[in-house]
Amino acid sequence: MIKLTYPKFWNKRNWLSFLMIPFSYIYLFLGFVRNKISSKIILSQKVICIGNITLGGAGKTQIVAWLAQLLKQKKISFVIITKAYKSNLKKVKLVEMTDSAKEVGDESIMLRNYGCVIAAKKIQYALPLINQINPKIVILDDGMQNPYIKKDLQICAIDTLNLLGNNMIFPSGPLRENLSSGLMKSDMIFMIGNNRCKDSNLIKNIKLSQKPCFKATIKLREELDRDIEYIAFTGIANPEKFYFLLSQNHFKLKQCISFGDHHDYSNNDVKKLVDLAISNDCYLITTEKDYVKLDSNYQNLIICAKVNLNFENEQECMDLIYEKLF
């Protein structure tokens, strides 16, 4: 699996991005070959895939959480499949409340609060557990480019802050595939973030695709004190998204500290952060994805900024999902 990073040159075309174009062609060719030689697994359950066209965070996990709550309200049974990224998992595991992020991955720990979760390094490993649980719906957290399983509904998440970056294919840019092919395979487009889309080419292509597009803003789930100073830290693919959210909500940020994507926090890492906060008379704040990886002895010293998605035309969006599935 590709390590998810978001270097600065992915936001703008320069000599480095053009230098890597030959490797982009190799990447596309390998994807083409994989698609041609793969045989699809067809499940008896309906499969919803939440994916994106770019590398890095686009709000997929938040969409999965929103969708899980939606299905719960309708009393529709489901199971969530995660990739257990950067965990010690070798094959597959039904996620339990006692599991740690090291064992099953941070997304698995976050999502287990919303429903049944299977952490699997490959979708093939999850099949016996899916058959055993036998839900009506299987939700794939990521997997839009996975050719090994037939999907009944594909939702493409697009981050409104970074959008498509420099619109170039990995490693020249953040795209996993061409925009046209990504839109073609998508059933619905979700624009995630509190920014207005300023990419006229993207807007034009979405309109031409005639795929339904819905906007969802990111809201803090709990009211947090905005009168104190914070040191924000995170280890997600696009840390600027988190800092921008806090700034938009008028948090006083004294310092922002970024770690690598899916960073495994050691006690020494956290102790340094706590000492830094104490010396600066600040509070520490981080994302839910980071918070679940912290040792429980330190969690009460750190504020977790939990978020929800607030969809425009939510009922219309929900109706369309049901229409496509049932």
The answer to whether the beta carbons of residues 143 and 106 sit under 8 Å apart is no
Bridge partner residues of 209 (DSSP): none
- E-strand spans in 75-166? 78-82, 92-94, 117-120, 137-141, 153-159
The answer to whether the beta carbons of residues 97 and 112 sit under 8 Å apart is yes
Question: Tokens 């046209």 sit at which residue?
Answer: 180
- Interatomic CA distance for residues 122 and 47, integer angstroms: 15
Cis amide prior to 171 (ω within 30 degrees): yes
**Which residue from 110, 114, 91 is spatially nearest to 99, judged by alpha carbons?**
110
**Which residue from 71, 74, 21, 73 is spatially nearest to 48, judged by alpha carbons?**
71
Question: Tokens 């066209």 sit at which residue?
Answer: 53
Query: What one-character DSSP code corresponds to residue 53?
Result: S
Angle at the Cα of 195 from the Cα atoms of 194 and 198, rounded to 5 degrees: 160
Read off the tokens for 279.
């010396």
- How far does CA 225 lie from the centroid of its chain? 27
Read off the tokens for 63.
């969409």
String of b and e for 44-55 (b: at least 16 CB within 10 Å)? ebbbbbbbbbbb
- Interatomic CA distance for residues 264 and 105, integer angstroms: 10
Residue 200 CA: distances (Å) to CA of 89, 163, 204, 294: 42, 11, 6, 41
Query: What one-character DSSP code corresponds to residue 165?
Result: T
- Interatomic CA distance for residues 309 and 65, integer angstroms: 9
Domains delineated in the chain: 8-77+136-217+310-325 (3.40.50), 222-305 (3.40.50)
**Which residue from 156, 152, 165, 144 is spatially nearest to 191, judged by alpha carbons?**
156
- Interatomic CA distance for residues 80 and 109, integer angstroms: 12
Q: Can you list the residues of the chain whose pLDDT is less than 70?
A: 1-6
Encoded amino acid at 114, one letter? Y
**Which residue from 308, 165, 301, 297 is spatially nearest to 233, judged by alpha carbons?**
301
- pLDDT in the model for residue 6: 67
The answer to whether the beta carbons of residues 123 and 41 sit under 8 Å apart is yes
Read off the tokens for 39.
């045989």
pLDDT digits (tens, 9 = 90+) for 172-181: 999 999 999 9
Torsion of CA 172, 173, 179, 181, to 10 degrees: 50
- Interatomic CA distance for residues 244 and 316, integer angstroms: 29
- pLDDT in the model for residue 78: 97
